[in-house]
Amino acid sequence: MYAQMVKTDGTRVKSLDDMEPEERAFQQRIEAGQKIEPKEWMPEAYRKTLVRQISQHAHSEIVGQLPEGNWITRAPTLERKAILLAKVQDEAGHGLYLYCAAETLGISRDEMYEQLHSGKAKYSSIFNYPTLSWADIGAIGWLVDGAAIMNQVPLQRCSYGPYARAMVRICKEESFHQRQGFDILAKMVKGTPAQKAMVQDALDRWWWPSLMMFGPSDDASVHSAQSMAWKIKQNSNDELRQKFVDQTVPQADYLGLTVPDPELKWNETKGGYDFGEPDWKEFFEVIAGNGLCNAERLGARRKAWDDGAWFREGLLAHAAKAEARRTTAPAAAE
Amino acid sequence: MSSEWPLWEVFIRGQHGLNHRHVGSLHAPDAEMAIHNARDVYTRRNEGVSIWVVRSTDITASTPSEKGPLFDPANSKVYRHPTFFDVPDEVGHM
């Protein structure tokens, strides 16, 4: 997902009886569906896990601007360009909501940037694939944002107040992203055979990476079990992936496209599709930094940060000077 | 010295004559830039007609762990709610 394989520090999920009174009261509040707010007591592992997850989520929004930014200057019409700009601006906004939510847990914005730029913090594997044609912009909106929505809707009920509230804002805006992507593809498949072929090619390249966004099966993962006990996570990776496939395949049918999975088949008894296994070796390579665009994406982020240093410092110096002038100005200077 | 821009809390008045409401926070070098950034971050879809920004460090908050004693005085005064009083049916709406 936008946050993949988030570690929780624990080796097993504690039962209520194993907990000290403070932690037990905390866990009971979570189970009663109460939100945890920034200054309240929380286990250190809960805090750290949330910092990892929210910052990874924020980094994904920010890095996620890059593959689409590639096409802002090449959008086929002025209207498409304006729409894409608005979408990319939303991604920046989503990153900012999330960074602010993470900051309420005691990590600074600069620390988070530093972790991203040094490679210590991760962002979603999906943004390390290249956008080769205009159809890729459609495929990203339709598939990548579609997968993101699958994960983000339940996160609105997350136990940590600031994260849950950020997700409410994000979900409201995300639906525009998915529809604009689908709209691009729906237009293109009605175009020339070459345009339709571009759409099929985009689906062929983005289908499996989109399924990988949910992460490997986590049914046996202690981190996942812990995150669920804390209500930071509500559904297993496989559950969400199944939902995504069930929702998306009929849409691909509508577009007249072929999903690149020979094992894909409707299963009447489970009321969902059976589908093949993504190439997890590729997934782990991308996570480890060896994807097609990892170096390019991080390079672009670092360059933007370094090139902007004079500007950030300049504005801060100006603010300090203006403040000094305001506080030391003589009251009556006639 | 930290070169991080200070943090501001953002309050927005929605369209319908409501109070300004806290919507989130952001970093900006000064108040003017904070307003500009708040417009771009929090009102991209006409969510507001007015923006307040306040330096986060200027906010004094109550302590969550003391919420018991802090709000205790109100607990025993249920008569402050109109439903405390029985109004006979014959009297009708009051």
| Residue A304 pLDDT greater than 50, yes or no | yes
**B59 lies in a domain?**
yes
- In chain B, the number of structural domains is 1
Q: What is the CATH number of the domain that holds B39?
A: 3.10.20.520
**B15 lies in a domain?**
yes
B47: phi then psi, degrees, rounded to nearest 5: -80, -5
The mean pLDDT value for B18-28 works out to 95
- Please answer yes or no on whether B7 and A318 come within 8 Å at the CB atom: no
Each residue's pLDDT tens digit, A114-145: 999 999 999 999 999 999 999 999 999 999 99
**For A293, how many CA atoms within 13 A lie in the half-sphere containing its CB?**
18
Residues B79 and B87: their CA atoms lie apart, in Å, by: 14
Could you tell me the residue range of the domain that residue B20 belongs to?
7-80
Nearest CA distance, A93 vs chain B (angstrom)? 5
**B46 lies in a domain?**
yes
- Please answer yes or no on whether A37 and B64 come within 8 Å at the CB atom: yes
- Please answer yes or no on whether B44 and A89 come within 8 Å at the CB atom: yes
Each residue's pLDDT tens digit, A29-42: 999 999 999 989 99
- The pLDDT of residue B1 is 44
- The pLDDT of residue A16 is 85
Give the percent of chain A with pLDDT over 70.
98
B50: phi then psi, degrees, rounded to nearest 5: -160, 145
Helix (H) or strand (E) segment spanning residue B23: strand B20-27
- A160 in reach of chain B (CB within 8 A): no
Nearest CA distance, B4 vs chain A (angstrom)? 7
Residues A135 and A73: their CA atoms lie apart, in Å, by: 15
Each residue's pLDDT tens digit, A164-184: 999 999 999 998 999 999 999
The mean pLDDT value for B50-70 works out to 90
Radius of gyration of chain B (CA): 21
The mean pLDDT value for A234-242 works out to 95
Weakest-pLDDT range from A5-14, A65-74, A79-88, A255-264: A5-14
Helix (H, G, I), strand (E, B) or coil at B3: coil
Q: How confident is the model at residue B4 (pLDDT cuts 50, 70, 90)?
A: very high
- A326 in reach of chain B (CB within 8 A): no
Each residue's pLDDT tens digit, A283-303: 999 999 999 999 999 999 999
CB A310 within 8 A of CB A145: no
Q: Calculate ∠ Cα A83-A286-A300, nearest 5°.
A: 50
More confident residue, A220 or B6: B6
Taking the complete model, does pTM exceed 0.80, yes or no?
yes
Nearest CA distance, A315 vs chain B (angstrom)? 6
How many other C-beta atoms can be found within 10 angstroms of the C-beta atom of residue A301? 19
Q: Which 13-42 residues of chain B touch chain A by CB within 8 A?
A: 24-27, 29-30, 33, 40-42
- ipTM at complex level: 0.85
